[in-house]
Amino acid sequence: MTAKAGDRVKVIADNDIKEGILMPNEETDSVVIKLDNGYNVGIDKKKVKEIKVVEKYKEKEESTGKKPKKDSKKPTIAILHTGGTIASKVDYETGGVIAKFSPSELMELFPELKKIANFDSRLIDQMLSEDMRFEHYKKIANAIKKEIQKKVDGIIITHGTDTLGYTAAALSFILENIDIPVLLVGAQRSSDRGSSDAAMNLVCASEFITKTDFVGVAICMHESTGDNSCAILPATKTRKLHTSRRDAFKPVNDTIIARIDYDTRKIEFLKKDYPKPNGKLVVKDKFEDKVGIIKCHPNMFCDQFDFFKGYKGLVIEGTGLGHAPVDPPNKLHVNIMDSIKSLIKSGTIVAMASQCLFGETHPHVYTAAINLSKAGVVYCKDMLPETAFVKLAWLLGNYKKDDVKKLMAENLRGEINERLMKDEFLD
Ligand code: ASP
């Protein structure tokens, strides 16, 4: 029997035997199988002696497409799907990744959800999050607005994990005075992997929405590598800090908002001071496109900064307390200072965040920062560089230039932790 993609196979190679699901892969010189731990491995075709079929792939019954019945006693959650690994499966026929997003398909993939709430779902996009652009933030924000008008009890945005933090920050700036929970949920492993985190992240997000009075934008992901709990993380202060672990998302200069125990479904709040709405929903969805971010490193040249001439905003991811290589007597560094000054003179708003991530920037300790600050660089305190980038583009899209500079250094959506503790660091 010849093995086909989707079959469970045993691959017998020169010095190795591996068992898993055969993945579609005609283009390369490897036989790729998905192991039970969720990882894919490639085995050199030249070394493969035999591929034994352990179990043929069974096509699941096609979804009926019928809407699941609503339970009037349960709250309603809208799921807006934007793409990424979560709620996607490999289609073994074509080898492509397909999204499963209709309410019936979601219930098939994650049957446990049915017990928690009624779900409405819509496909906003089907993309990998590294391809996100500002126009997508606008699209998602307006889809959220529509759901809020329909009076749903909460919204889950399924999203790729790579830039999920940027989108979370963007949505919290765009949507002011949200009066329901809006949770971004991703998965590090796709739903068809044994080790997928998709179901637990979605279940925890749904439990949190139905059991608490939290309002605003936040992120819900695994808190640890085990299947014990999920964390509700602050939208403007969370970063993907690991490429593959299920607990990759961690708060930076902040704490988690709440923890959902997966076994007991109990919710423990670690923070009660999340912002509450104070008026009607306001949607400010414009972004300035010409905003960049530059990371400082040894051996820089001024033309790296000159590249941003004509840009309306630039975030410098400085070293340490917020430094760039601008100190004399090195002429190359004096030139960098001149380039930054000329950017500011030509109207670019230049902001400073730290590549350390933890702790605050400080414009008054070292000469470099003192001079950069004197030249007009705005110091962003303990703001994450990517949040500073999103905020600067958003401010430039919606406010007058004088206000942008002022607002950049003010806390609008929890992006600056005014009560930052010295010992708030990785434990
Ligand atoms: N690269 C993917 C994305 O961010 C990874 C994921 O889906 O989590 O869309």
**Residue 403: pLDDT over 90:** yes
**Residue 24: pLDDT over 70:** no
CATH 2.30.30.520 in the chain is located at 8-55
319 vs 329: CA distance, rounded Å:
19
Fold of 291-408: Rossmann fold (3.40.50)
CB 154 within 8 A of CB 217: no
**Is residue 255 annotated as a catalytic residue, yes or no?**
no
The mean pLDDT of 178-188, rounded to a whole number, is: 96
Mind listing the pLDDT tens digit for each residue in 224-261? 998 899 999 999 999 999 999 999 999 999 999 999 99
CATH 3.40.50.40 in the chain is located at 291-408
CATH 3.40.50.1170 in the chain is located at 76-283
SS (H, E, C) the chain: CCCCCCCEEEEEECCEEEEEEECCCCCCCEEEEECCCCCEEEEEHHHEEEEEEEECCCCCCCCCCCCCCCCCCCCEEEEEEEECCCCEEECCCCCCEEECCCHHHHHHHCHHHHHCCEEEEEEEEEECHHHCCHHHHHHHHHHHHHHHHCCCCEEEEECCCCCHHHHHHHHHHHEECCCCEEEEECCCCCCCCCCCCHHHHHHHHHHHHHHCCCCEEEEEEECCCCCCEEEEEECCCEEECCCCCCCCEEECCCCCCEEEECCCCCEEECCCCCCCCCCCCEECCCCCCCEEEEECCCCCCHHHHHCCCCCCEEEEEEECCCECCCCCCCHHHHHHHHHHHHHHHCCCEEEEEECCCCCCCCCCCCHHHHHHHHCCCEECCCCCHHHHHHHHHHHHHHCCHHHHHHHHCCCCCCCCCCCCCCCCCCC
**Is residue 240 annotated as a catalytic residue, yes or no?**
yes
Q: Report the mean per-residue pLDDT for the chain.
A: 90
322 Cβ inside 6 Å of ligand 1: no
Of 125, 127, 130, best ligand 1 pocket probe by most atoms within 8 Å of the beta carbon: 130
Architecture of domain 76-283: 3-Layer(aba) Sandwich (3.40)
Token pair, residue 329, equals 């007597």
Instruction: Give Rg (Cα) of the chain.
Output: 24
Q: How confident is the model at residue 106 (pLDDT cuts 50, 70, 90)?
A: confident
- Which residue from 166, 145, 132, 134 is spatially nearest to 287, judged by alpha carbons? 134
The mean pLDDT of 10-35, rounded to a whole number, is: 80
Which CATH number fits the domain 8-55, given the four candidates 1.20.210.10, 2.60.40.1080, 2.30.30.520, 3.40.350.10? 2.30.30.520
- Catalytic residue, chosen from 82, 161, 167, 238, is 161
**Residue 51: pLDDT over 90:** yes
**Residue 63: pLDDT over 70:** no
| Model pLDDT, residue 170 | 98
Tokens 């660089």 label which residue? 377
**Is residue 94 annotated as a catalytic residue, yes or no?**
no
CA quadruple 362, 403, 146, 98: dihedral, nearest 10: -50
Q: How confident is the model at residue 30 (pLDDT cuts 50, 70, 90)?
A: confident
85 Cβ inside 6 Å of ligand 1: yes
Lowest mean pLDDT among 3-7, 56-60, 188-192, 412-416: 56-60
The better pLDDT of the pair 25, 304 is held by 304
Q: How confident is the model at residue 57 (pLDDT cuts 50, 70, 90)?
A: confident
| Model pLDDT, residue 107 | 74
Cα 140 to Cα 103, 133, 158, 282, 395: the distances in Å are 19, 11, 11, 15, 18
The mean pLDDT of 297-324, rounded to a whole number, is: 98
Mind listing the pLDDT tens digit for each residue in 271-295? 877 778 889 999 999 999 999 999 9
Distance 87 CA to ligand 1 centre (A): 11
Of 128, 136, 243, best ligand 1 pocket probe by most atoms within 8 Å of the beta carbon: 128
161 Cβ inside 6 Å of ligand 1: yes
How many C-beta neighbours within 10 Å does residue 194 have?
A: 12
Tokens 């010992």 label which residue? 423
129 Cβ inside 6 Å of ligand 1: yes
| Model pLDDT, residue 61 | 44
Lowest mean pLDDT among 33-42, 59-68, 342-351, 414-423: 59-68
The mean pLDDT of 400-426, rounded to a whole number, is: 89
CB 171 within 8 A of CB 235: yes
Token pair, residue 235, equals 């939208």
